[in-house]
Amino acid sequence: MMKNCVRCGALLPDDATYCERCGAEQKASEKEQLSEGQIPSRYRAIVGSETVTGAHGHSAHVDPPAHSDVIPEESGVEGNPQDVEVQHLETDSAASLAGMSTVRLKKGSKGTASEAFGTSSKVSEPTATPNSLNGADIPNSDTASEQNRAEREAAERRQLEERRAAEQKAKHDEMLRKQKQEAYEQRRRKWLAMGKRVLLVLALLLLLVLLILGINALLKWLGRPTDVETIEVNGVKFHMVRIDSGSFEMGAQNLDPKGTNFDADAYDDESPVHEVMLSTYYIGETEVTQALWKAVMGEGSNPSYAVGDSLPVEMVTWNDCQKFVARLSQLTGRHFSLPTEAQWEYAARGGALASPTRFAGSNNIDSVAWYADNSDGKTHPVATKAPNALGIYDMTGNVHEWCYDWFGNYPNMSQTDPKGEEFGSTKILRGGSAFREERVARVSVRNGSNPIDEGKGSGLRIVMRP
C-alpha cells in the first residue's frame, strides 16, 4: 500500500514517512534544532514540556504531553534501582536528539528531561512501549533503513544491468558497424584490384599495339632503299632504287596449301616454285612517265592513249622499249635495260624484306594498285598508291610492264641471274594494269605478248647496273 510524503506529498511505500529529499532536509533541520538546544516537535511527546539545555548552552521549553510518557514503577521491570533502556522510535534524527541511542532511567524514581537529555529539565517516566506511543505504532528505524537500502541496492542493480545492457548493445552495434565497414573495405579493395588489373591489361595491350606499330614503322624505315640514285636527263629527274643481292623462291603453286608460295588462284605456268639468286641492281622507283619518255625520245614521241606528264607511258611495244633504254644509256652514260622476269618479281616481293603477300606490298589490292575495279578504266598518275617494303610504287596495276625475257616454262631447279629462254615468240609482261582484274595483278602472274604489240595499258620500268 502506498502513502504520501508528509512534506511534499510524493508517493512512498507504506513503511516510509519522507521521500529521500525531504528526509535529508528533515534530518538537517532537526540537527540544527538540537544544536540550538531545541527538541524537535515530533519528539516532545517523549520528553514532556520541559526546558532543556542544548549542546551550546541554549535552553528550550517543551509543553508536557497529555499522558504519562515515563515508565512507571509498576511496569514490571525487576530489580533494585537499575538502568532501564528506552529505545528511541524514530529515524537517525532521534539518535541525534540526545547524542545516543538510549535513555537510562532509574527504577522507582521520576525521570526528568534533563536526566534523559543531559539537562536540568524533569521528564516523566514513559508508559509507552518502545515501539508504541499513545497507542500509535512508530516505524522501526532499522527496518526502514534496511528496506530503503534494499530498494537503493535494487535500483542500483537495475541501473547497473541497464548500463551493462546498453554497453553490450553499443558493443554489438560497434561490432556490426566494423563488420559492415570491413565488408565495404574488402569490396572496395577487390574492385580497386580488379580495376588495376583491367588498367594493366589495357596498358599492356596499348603498349603491344604501339610496339607492333613501332616495329612495323621501323621495318618500313629499314626497308626503305638506303641507296636511291637520282638521275636527270634533259631537265627531268627520276629515281633508281638499289636492290641488294639475294635469293628468293620464285613462282607460285596451287596444289599444296602448306607448301611454299601457295596461291589458290595460281596458274599452271607460275610453277614450279624454284630458288633464284640475283646480283645487285637498281630498279626504277616508278614506271617510266610520259615526261621522261619525251625527255629521252623527244617531243611528239609520246604514244600514250591517256596524256599527262605524271601518267605512265603506255601503248609502247617491246621494241620501242629497247630503243628507249638504248637512248637513255647514251644520254646518261649509264647502262639501262628492261628488268628480267626474276629481277621484276624479286623487287615486287620486297627483295630481302620479302613477305608472303599476293600483291606488291599488301594483300589488299586497293591500297597498292589501280586495277579494273577502282581505276574507272584509265591509268592514273604514278606513286599515288602505297609503295611496297622497298619504297617502289605501282608494281601492281596501272600498266603492264615489259620484261627482258622470252616467255618459257620455269625450270625445276635453282637459278642464278636467269634471263629466260634464248628464243621465243612472246615477251614477258608483268604486274597487271588498270584494265585487268585482281587475279592478273598478283606478283607471280606471267603474261606474254608479241614484241611488236602496242596494247593499251602496256608500259615499262627500267633497271640499271650498279
Q: Which of 283, 288, 286 is nearest to 242 (CA)?
A: 283
Tell me the backbone φ, ψ of residue 418, rounded to 5 degrees. Answer: -70, 150
Q: What is the predicted pLDDT for the residue at 338?
A: 98
Specify whether domain 228-464 bears CATH 3.40.190.10.
no
Please state whether beta strands 125-126 and 447-449 pair in parallel, antiparallel, or not at all (unpaired): unpaired
Main-chain dihedrals φ then ψ at residue 438, nearest 5 degrees? -60, -40
Handedness of CA 56, 60, 66, 72 (dihedral sign): positive
Q: How do 246-250 and 274-278 pair as beta strands?
A: antiparallel
pLDDT the model gives residue 89: 35
What count of other Cβ atoms lies within 10 Å of the Cβ of residue 337? 18
| Local mean pLDDT, 10-residue blocks, the chain (466 residues) | 73 74 81 73 52 42 41 36 35 40 36 40 41 45 79 89 92 92 91 92 92 76 70 97 96 95 96 97 98 96 96 97 98 98 96 87 96 96 95 96 97 95 95 96 96 92 96
Measuring CA to CA, which residue among 90, 116, 69 is closest to residue 26? 90
For the record, the C-alpha cell of 444 comes out as 607471280
Phi-psi region of 235 (alpha: psi -120 to 50; beta: other; left: phi over 0): left
Looking at residue 368, its pLDDT comes to 97
